[in-house]
Structure 1
Amino acid sequence: MFKRSFAAASKDRAGKARKVSKRSFRDDAKQRMREALNDATPDTSPSLGGGSPKLNSAIVTIAVGKDLRLFAAHEDVLARSPWFAEACQEQFFSSPGQRRITLSDEEPEIFSAVLEYLYKGDYYPRLLHDKKRDTWALEDVAADLTSNLDSKKTGGPAELATIYHHGVDDFILRDTVIYCSALRFALPDLQRLALRKQGLQTGIDVATIMRSARFAYANTPASDSRLRAHYLALIIRSRKTFKRSGTMQMEMEKGGTQLFFDLFVAMCNHIDDVVEFGQVSPSSKVLR
């Protein structure tokens, strides 16, 4: 990779010159994207739109998860979600210190991401856009892994992409759960963000994908097909891996879910498209 250094010197208090460390062009690009994200506010975020929230509004307490972990948020921030706006309205006659919403079926880590999105327009790890290449990537978390986690417990990006869900009693994809929570709280922009982030995840094992797909089907209506379609496309695109998978074989034999009928239909459509493409001659393509 082409690297360029910037030989700049600055004076410290003692009057001595101090060299600036060399950085690659990619490092500089990432730093500029991070600075742009850090400067972003709900007012400037394309995800949130509208005006910035009033941070002097009433504080609402939210009890989340089976252990009822407590969160606090400004009412005007929560009201960006129609679901929370209605819930806060029900608390209108309660005294400011007594306003409380209980979400015992939500995971605290997931609600934390939702709350971060309501305040900042994104959630960790943030989505970075390289305007020059017009590509998207997830914020690099390698430094945080090194400093915050024990090396024996780290499994790389694939492990960071999952969360232990008490309702499933196993690990599933974090962005899938965030998508379903965004659907519940009527936050379509957060749904799109979670889906885009999940599309950037790699190295996920078949068992985790299948558990996550079942969760997606169980927590989305048939009318909301984007997340379901994502899993169908993923399985078809990676069919060589899934074809060799004992987990996939066991799931197919067990069956009994809408997922596998949809997968069958999607595979048939895929085959039909391939056959139709092979039967169309170059001349007929021009005539069409």
Structure 2
Amino acid sequence: MFSSSTRRPRPTDNSFSSRYGTKKSTKQKSSFREQSITRGSERLDSVRSPRKEQQPVGSTLTSAIITLCVGPEQRLFAGHEEVLSRSPFFEALCRDQFFENHSRRINLPDEQPEILSAVLEYLYKGDYHPKLAHNKRKDTWELEDDVNGADTIIYHHATKQTLMKDTVIYCSADVYGLEELKRLALRKQGLRSGMQISTILASARYAYNHTPDSDSKLRAQYLTLIIRSRNNFKKSGTMKVEMEQGGLLFFDLFVAMCNHMDDLKTIRSPFTSPFTR
């Protein structure tokens, strides 16, 4: 993908709560759905109030057709110029006429066809499958037609690993300049369940490699998930191998775990010295 892996300066504040804006629960959860960092009952103001990038298509269907050549197999997609231009990335290409042989064609050799398809669906409809729906009876947000989590994962040809689809969509949306799509992907990932540990860890590494240090929301979701389900992760051979490889992910996880333990001590007894136990 066209995502940038350039590192930015690390924040000076290493507090898990202040750095990631995430509160931790002292209760142990039994399922990955319960362990999700983003709860379906939270308000989705950003999703309810579409901005320019996801307004209804309307008369834009009369604009020129752009062909998009995607992935190593060069799968072809088509989109209206005005719809694609809701993305600053595509708008720049259209405006500057960076097309091969002056044809209306954009090559995306590093993109995943499944991800580009989701991005186009979002640009046209304001959402991607499975759609986010509000359950009025329970006052919660759910994923429509999410049969057995069929659209939860994809095989990523560049990394040669199975990854969480919402994570890859988030990183692509960052490249395409679609902030609302990033928020939507983050919300949806918080509603997913039943992920294998190997998939979670591979996706976490992908998130770290394709987001700048200043963009901590997606990273925080993975750190919190690992902490809340630590009883499963500490028994995992995959986790052991990943930790041996090291990297920023596990430094952040170490800091987050330390801060989590400090928070638990404060909750139990805010006046007790840690050296008296």
Considering the TM-score relative to the shorter chain, is it more than 0.5? yes
Pair 1:105-2:110 in alignment:
yes
Q: CA RMSD in A?
A: 2.1
Query: Partner residue of 2:252?
Result: 262
- The 3-state SS of whatever aligns with 2:62 is coil
> How many matched pairs?
222
Write out per-residue CA displacement over residues 123-182 of structure 1, whole angstroms, 9 at most, x where no aligned residue.
01111111332201111244xxxxxxxxxxxxx32x531101011112111110000000
Counterpart of 1:131 in structure 2 is: 136
Pair 1:84-2:127 in alignment: no
For 1:15, the equivalent position in structure 2 comes to none
The offset of 1:51, in angstroms, is 5.9
Q: Which runs of 4+ in 1 moved over 4 A?
A: 47-51, 92-96
Instruction: Measure the CA separation in 1 of the matches of 2:120 and 2:224.
Output: 30
SS at match of 1:85: helix
Q: Note if contact 2:223-2:256 (Cα within 8 Å) is conserved in structure 1.
A: yes
Corresponding position of 1:198? 189
Question: Given the two structures, how large is their TM-score scaled by the length of structure 2?
Answer: 0.75
The residue that corresponds to 1:179 in the other structure is 170
1:74–1:95 Cα change, 3 Å: farther
Alpha-carbon deviations, 1:45-75, whole Å to 9, x = none?
A: 7364556451101111111101111111000
**Preserved contact between residue 183 and residue 191 of structure 1 (Cα < 8 Å):** yes
**What SS does the aligned partner of 1:224 have?**
coil
Distance 1:45 1:69, change over 3 A: farther
TM-score, with length taken from structure 1: 0.73
Larger Rg: 1
Which has the bigger relative contact order, CA under 8 A and spacing at least 6? 2
Q: How many Å apart are 1:210 and its aligned residue?
A: 0.5
Partner secondary structure for residue 61 of structure 1: strand
Q: Distance in 2 between matches of 1:198 and 1:187?
A: 17
Conservation of the 8 A alpha-carbon contact between 1:129 and 1:135: yes
Look up the equivalent residue of 1:123 and give its one-letter code.
Y
1:273 aligned onto 2:263 = yes
How is 1:107-256 mapped onto 2 (pairs within 5 angstroms)? 107-142=112-147, 156-157=148-149, 159-255=150-246
Distance 1:264 1:111 in 2: 35
Q: What percentage of aligned pairs have identical amino acids?
A: 57
Residue 94 of structure 1 deviates from its aligned partner by 8.7
- Residue by residue over 1:26-57, the C-alpha shift from the partner in whole angstroms, topping out at 9 and shown as x without a partner, is xxxxxxxxxxxxxxxxxx97364556451101
